[in-house]
Amino acid sequence: MIKWLIFVILAWFALSQASWAFWIWTPETKKWTNPKFAPKESPQEQLNFAKSYYEAKDYTTAYNEFKKLVKYYVDAVEAPEAQYYMGLCLEEMGKYYEAYQAYQKITDKYPFSARTDNVLQREYIVAQKLLDYRNKLIGIEFTGENAAIEIFKKIIDNAPYGKYAAASQYKIGLTYKAKGFFDEATPEFQKVVDNYPDSEWAEPAKFQIALCAAKSSLDAAYDQTLTQEAKDKFAEFIKTHPDAELSQEAVSRIVELKDKEAQSNYEIGLFYEKQKAYRSAKIYYHYVIKNYSSSAWAQKSLEKLQALERKRL
């Protein structure tokens, strides 16, 4: 029994010595540190060490090593570079929003970094990736559109007249439009026209404004104001951009809106007919025949008028 106790004590002592061997007291910091988790002796060494894992595509280990540099050498010239690579690692791991947060820290903490332009580019790319992001959790689908809008807005805040500002502003409008939020999309497109009139995005933004008006008008059964407004916007676009590729589509959209107007007036006539207000119904049927003679609704209106005449109504 005594021998067994001596063995246990010696074993415990040996193991405790082994475990303590990993920890070292440093008078400078007045802390115990474990060399296993400590950084290299210089930020440059640590940066090179972390990059070796990145180049080997071990992004998790690389991320942790870059993070170590930022933690222990926060004021080093290598710190923003390490922060940038942290974002790259997170991108490679598919953690796009976290990557954006890593990139944004460079702008917030190191505004004079040589990576400023790269940060804007990577944030723009990450936002684009989030637009296509889809994930399901317990049967509920999560999308990345809202996060993408947040990032596009931050890009504009970071550099209002930078390389990616106009494109980001346009993408905000496009994202709202894709979600069916036409009232929210329109002012975002207008910001492109107002703030970046000479950019390549100004022309398509004007077209998108007209398109949003058209989409809104299609939801209104009898209100012709929205339809007329949409037609006017497309007509203005054609007038100011006669040679633009989108002008051909604008012409098609005007034809579509006219057909919508014809349908709406026909349906108003139909409504009055069902209410036995035949005189009012005839007025609308005649209006369709006169103003939209080439549409299918003109033929339908003619048939309705002939039927009313046969009934002497």
Q: Which residues contact 110 (CB under 8 A, 6 or more apart)?
A: 79, 80, 83
* The predicted structure's pLDDT at residue 117: 93
Instruction: Please state the domain extents for the chain.
Output: 31-133
* The predicted structure's pLDDT at residue 124: 96
* The predicted structure's pLDDT at residue 87: 98
Q: Which residues contact 160 (CB under 8 A, 6 or more apart)?
A: 195
**pLDDT > 70 in the chain, percent:** 75
Structure tokens at 92: 């490679």
- For the chain, the average pLDDT equals 81
Could you give the angle at which helices 43-55 and 79-92 cross, rounded to 10 degrees? 20
* The predicted structure's pLDDT at residue 6: 53
The whole model's pTM is what? 0.67
Give 35 or 69, the one with higher predicted confidence: 69
| Superfamily classification of domain 31-133 | Tetratricopeptide repeat domain (1.25.40.10)
User: Please, is 205 exposed, middle or buried when counting C-beta atoms within 10 Å of its C-beta (0-12, 13-18, 19+)?
Assistant: buried
Q: Are strands 31-33 and 134-137 parallel, antiparallel or unpaired?
A: unpaired
Where does the pLDDT of residue 14 fall: very low under 50, low under 70, confident under 90, or very high at 90 and above? Answer: very low
Give 249 or 131, the one with higher predicted confidence: 131
**pLDDT of 66-109, one tens digit each?**
999 999 999 999 999 999 999 999 999 999 999 999 999 999 99
**pLDDT of 105-145, one tens digit each?**
999 999 889 999 999 999 999 999 998 876 544 445 557 89
For 49-108, give the DSSP string. Answer: HHHHHHHTT-HHHHHHHHHHHHHH-TTSTTHHHHHHHHHHHHHHTT-HHHHHHHHHHHHH
Q: How far apart are CA 109 and CA 111, in angstroms?
A: 6
* The predicted structure's pLDDT at residue 280: 77
Q: Is-contact 174 165, C-beta < 8 A?
A: no
What's 134's DSSP letter? E
* The predicted structure's pLDDT at residue 167: 96
SS3 33: strand
**pLDDT > 90 in the chain, percent:** 44
SS3 12: helix
- Among the listed residues 203, 288, 291, the one whose alpha carbon sits nearest the alpha carbon of residue 249: 203
Q: How far apart are CA 163 and CA 123, in angstroms?
A: 12
